[in-house]
Structure 1
C-alpha cells in the first residue's frame, strides 16, 4: 500500500487494509475519505464495511466515489469541503491514490492556485500520473455553456446557473424558495446564494426557467424576477396542470392560462443564453408539463432521469404516466452520447456525496432503469415502484405556489399569508 502526504491536511493512498484503517487514528488522522466506487474488483471492501471499520477506529468517514472518466465539479467541491471541514488530517484513498490526488489538484486549478501546466510535474514528483486531470481541464474549457449547480439538502434539489462565458449572460433553472413545513417559515437563502454568485461572477440574468411545477419545493422564480427583472418561462402545458390542481384546491379564481409566466415554451421552441442556443423538448411523464432545456451541449432533465446509480423519476403524480415518461427518456437518450445531463434531484444513495451531472452515454450504460430496458419492462418497474412511494411531504403545500409561478398567497386582512391544504385529495396514495 502507498500513502503520500500532499499537505498537512491531506494524504492520498491506495486501498488500505483493515489493519491500516485501525492504525490511522494513532497516526493523527481524523477522517477517511473513500473515493472508490463499490464493486470495482473482486474482494474489495464495500463502503458500508469500510465505514464500520473506520468508525470503530474512532475516525469520521466520507464517501465520494468517482471513476476516472466521469469526475464532475460536484465531486471536486465535495472533496474540498470534506478536507477543509475535517477536524484534522484526512486520509483519502481510491485503488491507487490517483483519483484522490486528481480531485485535489482539480480543485486547486479551478480556484486558481495551480496552473494546468503545473499538474503533471506535481504528480510525477509524488509518483502519480495526473495526465487525466489535465485532459479534464481541457474538456471543461471546451464545454459550452458553463454550469454551476447549487445543492439544496432539505429537499435534495439542484438549482443551476447556466452561463455563456463569452457574453457573461446566464439563465437560472429551477431555483428553490426556502420553506419549513413544521413552522410555516419562508426564506430566500437559496435564491440569495444564487444572486450572490451572479453578482460575484459579473453575470446578467437573461432567463429564469422552471422545468415543471415542482411537488417537493417552492419555486423562487417570482422572487428572482423581482430581483433581476429577467423574464420567467415554463412549458406551455403548465395550463393543463393548473386546470388539474384548480379542481383539487377548489380554486375557481385561479387563472389557468399560464399568464403567471412571461413565456410559455412549446416543444421545439428556441431561445438564447447569450450567444448559446437553447432548445425546448417536451418531456411529459413525471408531470403533464415537464420540459427539458437543451442549452449548447447540456440538457437539464430534472425529474426524468437521475444519476446512473439512482434510476428514474416517479410518474404517479396527478397527470403522470410511466409510458409517457419512457417516451420522454428515449428522446433524451437520442441526444449525442457526450451530451451532459443535469438532474434536478439527488438523494445521496449509499451515503455518497451529492452528484448531479452525468452524460447520455453514462446513463445508457449504467442506469439500471435504462440499460438494456424495454418499454414494457420499464413501465412495469416504474408503476410497481411508484405504488410503494409515499407522496412528497410538500406536494399539497408546493403546488398551489408553483402553479402561480412561485407566487406566495396574497396576505389576508391580518397581514398573514395562508396555504390551503385539502384533506383526502390524493386518493390511493401510499402512506
Structure 2
C-alpha cells in the first residue's frame, strides 16, 4: 500500500483491497473515507464490501462517492465532517487518491486556509495533479447566486438560503419548523440555524419561499416572517390545495384564498433578490401547487426530481398526477445543461452521505427514473412504485399547518394548541 500523508489528521491513497483494512487499522487509522462511486471498474470492492471490512477492523467508515464532473460543496462539507467526527487519523481513498485530496483542498480554500492560487502547487507537493480542483473553484467563485443548503436528518429535507453577494439580499427556501409527533412538541432549531447563518454572513432576508405545502414537515415560513419581517410567498395554485384539504379536515373556517401568504406567484412571474433575477415555473405533479424557483443559474426543484441515483417524487398524494410530473420534469430539463438543480429531499441512496445539488445535464444522463424512458414507461414505473410506499408519517399533521403558511393552530381556551387528525381520510393503511 502506498499512503500519502497530508497532515496528522488526514492521509490519502489509491483504492485499497478489502483485506488491507486491518493493516490500515494496525497503522493507527481510525476511519476510512471512500470517495469512489461503486461500479467504476469490476475489480473495485464496492462500498458494501468496504463497510464490512471496516467493521471487522473496528474502523469508522464514510461513503462520499464523487466524480470530478458532479462534485458539489455538500460533498466537500461531508468530507470535512467525517474527518472532524473521527476519533483519530483518517485515510481517504478513491481510485488514485486524487479525488480524496481534491475534496480536502477545496474545503481548505472555501474556509480561507488556502488561497485558490495555491491549490495546484499544494497538489504537486503531494504528487497529485489538482488542476480539477482549481477549475472547480474558479467556477464556484464566478457564480452570482450563492446557495447554502441545510440538511435536516429527521425529515431528510434540505432547506436553502440563496443570496446575492453584491447586495447581501437573500431568500430562504423551504424552511423546516421542528415537530416531534411522539411528544407533540415543536421547536425552531432548524429555522434558528438559518437565522444564525444569515446573521453571521450579514445578509438581509428579502423573501421566505415555499415550493409547495409539504407533507413531511412543518413549514417555518410564518416563524421566520415574525423574526425577519420578510414577505412569504408560494405558487398561486395553493388555493386548490387549500380547498382539497379543507374538505379532508372538515374545516369550514379555513380561508382558501391564499391570504396566509404575502404573495401568490403565477406562472412565469419574476421577482428580485437584490440584483438576482428570479422566475417562477409551475411544476405540478407531486402536488397541485408545486413550483420551481429559478434564481440565476440555480433552480430549486423541490420534490420533482431527487438526486439522479434516487429518481423522482411520488404522485399519490391528493392532487398528485404522474403525467403532470413528467411534463414538469421535461420543463426543468429544458433549462440549459449547466443549470444547477437543488432538490428538496435526499434519502441517501446506498448509504452515502446527503447530497442535494446536480445539473440538468447530469439528470438527463443518469436519473434512474427518466434517463432513456418514455412518458408511458415513466407513468407505469411511478404508479407501481407509489403503490408500495406508505404515506409520510406526518402528512395529516403537516398539511393543516402548511396550508396556513406554517401557522400553528390557534390556542384554545386552556392555552394549548391542538392538531386535528381525520381517520381513514387517505385510503388504506400500511399494516406490515
TM range (shorter): over 0.9
TM-score by length of 2: 0.99
1:162 is aligned to 2:179:
no
Kept in 1: contact 2:172–2:207 (CA 8 A)? yes
In 2, the alpha carbon distance for the partners of 1:57 and 1:421 equals 49
The alpha carbon displacement at 1:3 in A equals 1.4
1:23 is aligned to 2:23:
yes
In structure 2, the residue matched to 1:280 is 280
1:8 is aligned to 2:5:
no
TM-score by length of 1: 0.99
Kept in 1: contact 2:54–2:61 (CA 8 A)? yes
The alpha carbon displacement at 1:144 in A equals 2.4
Q: Give the 5 Å matches for 1:13-412.
A: 13-412=13-412
The alpha carbon displacement at 1:85 in A equals 1.2
The alpha carbon displacement at 1:430 in A equals 4.4
Three-state SS of the structure 2 residue aligned to 1:428 is: coil
| Runs of 4+ in structure 1 over 6 Å off | none
Kept in 1: contact 2:18–2:49 (CA 8 A)? no
In 1, the alpha carbon distance for the partners of 2:406 and 2:179 equals 12
**What whole-Å deviation, never above 9, does each CA across 1:43-98 have from its counterpart, x for those lacking one?**
21110111001111111111000001111010000000000110000110000000
Kept in 2: contact 1:157–1:346 (CA 8 A)? yes
Three-state SS of the structure 1 residue aligned to 2:299 is: strand
In 2, the alpha carbon distance for the partners of 1:2 and 1:129 equals 17
Three-state SS of the structure 1 residue aligned to 2:308 is: coil
The alpha carbon displacement at 1:142 in A equals 1.5
Kept in 2: contact 1:144–1:298 (CA 8 A)? no
In 2, the alpha carbon distance for the partners of 1:429 and 1:357 equals 33
In 1, the alpha carbon distance for the partners of 2:235 and 2:428 equals 28
List alignment gaps of at least 5 residues for structure 1. none
The alpha carbon displacement at 1:429 in A equals 5.1
The alpha carbon displacement at 1:18 in A equals 2.5
Aligned length: 431
The alpha carbon displacement at 1:310 in A equals 0.4
**What whole-Å deviation, never above 9, does each CA across 1:222-252 have from its counterpart, x for those lacking one?**
0000000000000000000000000000000
Three-state SS of the structure 2 residue aligned to 1:69 is: coil
The alpha carbon displacement at 1:373 in A equals 1.0
In 1, the alpha carbon distance for the partners of 2:180 and 2:17 equals 44
The alpha carbon displacement at 1:2 in A equals 2.8
Three-state SS of the structure 1 residue aligned to 2:92 is: strand
Kept in 2: contact 1:210–1:233 (CA 8 A)? yes
List alignment gaps of at least 5 residues for structure 2. none
